[in-house]
Structure 1
Amino acid sequence: ERSVFSKKNKKGHFTGSGWVVSPDKRKILMTHHKTINKWLQLGGHSDGENDLLKVALREATEESGLRRFEVLNKTIFDLDIHKIQKVGSDSSHFHYDVRFLLEADPEKEPIIVSKESYDVAWVPIGNVLRLNPEKSIHRMVNKTMVLLV
């Protein structure tokens, strides 16, 4: 299958992510992903679903155990294209990651760490770049800081 919404497309495919903020926008929900050993926003493969907001919400639930997310804006919050290195039998390819701004309340539901992660945590926005200083994370932190003003 060559659909850009399927990971069977070996050149590259869309992924959907949620940049999950607390109601005061001072904490970001992040996952320490096992496969690539990095702290990231919640998200993953679309698995054939072409509504990437649905993908972001599904992945945020699967990776955190949280069920109550507010979609702060249905438009794209961030878009990142990045190369995924060869892992096991999967060849290197590109992810076209469409990211949406979601909100959840750290006080309302407990986090459940999925088998895909070492950890999931609410990270104070000032500490996010210590966990992952990549350009795309920096960009989303900056966009979030604007919301605080």
Structure 2
Amino acid sequence: MHREDLIQKLENYSPEDDNEKAFRASFLSFIDAHPDCFERSLQIGHITGSAWIVNKTYDKALLTHHRKLNRWLQLGGHADGESDIIKVSTAEALEESGLSSIKLVSKDIFDIDIHTIPARKSDPEHLHYDIRMLFTADENESFTISNESKDLGWIAPDELESYSKNNESILRMAEKTRRLLAGNKQ
């Protein structure tokens, strides 16, 4: 029962390409097969929630230089048993940025991704089934760098390629942001 909201959101999600279509099918299969899909203890993989935070003019995204993965990524993390993915994404955005101006743009999923997390200490290699929600925030507000990050920064979509090391999912979200920006200007 606790999985129904996420299943509904995924069924309503419109994949933009073949990768996202495959991701959505894999998500639905994974959630159906694993009632404990929101638990970090599920060692093959688990649901995570991320926040794609853009400024109010949609021309910059807030990224974190992730301490453990040593990569620039969107803010986000483990659900740790919480099945409300909006609640997870919001909590991660607040915890990892310290921003108080964060606002959810839509209750609809912005992006989905499945990616491999390398083995580390006692954690085996596993998959993150990541749900990304879209938020805005005031880029002039001071942020706080959490202990999970080396740095935070507002990055223009055109600059993301140099930060993301060709991370397909970051570039896909940047492209979605560009389209939103173009739509906002009309």
TM range (shorter): over 0.9
Q: Report the aligned-residue RMSD.
A: 1.2
Task: Check whether the contact 1:25–1:148 (CA below 8 A) recurs between aligned residues.
Answer: yes
State how 1:27-46 maps to structure 2 within 5 Å. 27-46=60-79
Tell me the TM-score normalized by structure 2. 0.77
State how 1:130-149 maps to structure 2 within 5 Å. 130-132=162-164, 133-149=166-182
Report the counterpart of residue 84 of structure 1 in structure 2.
117
Report the counterpart of residue 75 of structure 1 in structure 2.
108
Deviation at 1:47, TM superposition (A): 1.0
SS in 2 for 1:147: helix
Which one has a larger percent strand, Structure 1 or Structure 2?
Answer: 1
Report the counterpart of residue 159 of structure 2 in structure 1.
127
Can you list the C-alpha shifts for 1:32-90, whole angstroms capped at 9, x where unaligned?
Answer: 00000000000000111001111111001111111221111110000000111101110
The alignment of Structure 1 onto Structure 2 pairs a total of residues equal to: 148
Report the counterpart of residue 86 of structure 2 in structure 1.
53
SS in 2 for 1:137: helix
- Which structure exhibits the higher relative contact order, with contacts defined as CA atoms closer than 8 Å and separated by 6 or more residues? 1
The structure 1 segments of at least 4 consecutive aligned residues displaced by more than 6 Å after TM superposition are none
Structure 1 runs not aligned, ≥5 long: none
Query: Based on CA coordinates, which of the two structures has the bigger radius of gyration?
Result: 2
Q: In 1, distance between residues paired with 2:87 and 2:100?
A: 13
Tell me the TM-score normalized by structure 1. 0.96
Task: Check whether the contact 1:15–1:43 (CA below 8 A) recurs between aligned residues.
Answer: yes
SS in 2 for 1:66: coil
- Calculate percent identity across the aligned residue pairs: 45
Structure 2 runs not aligned, ≥5 long: 1-33
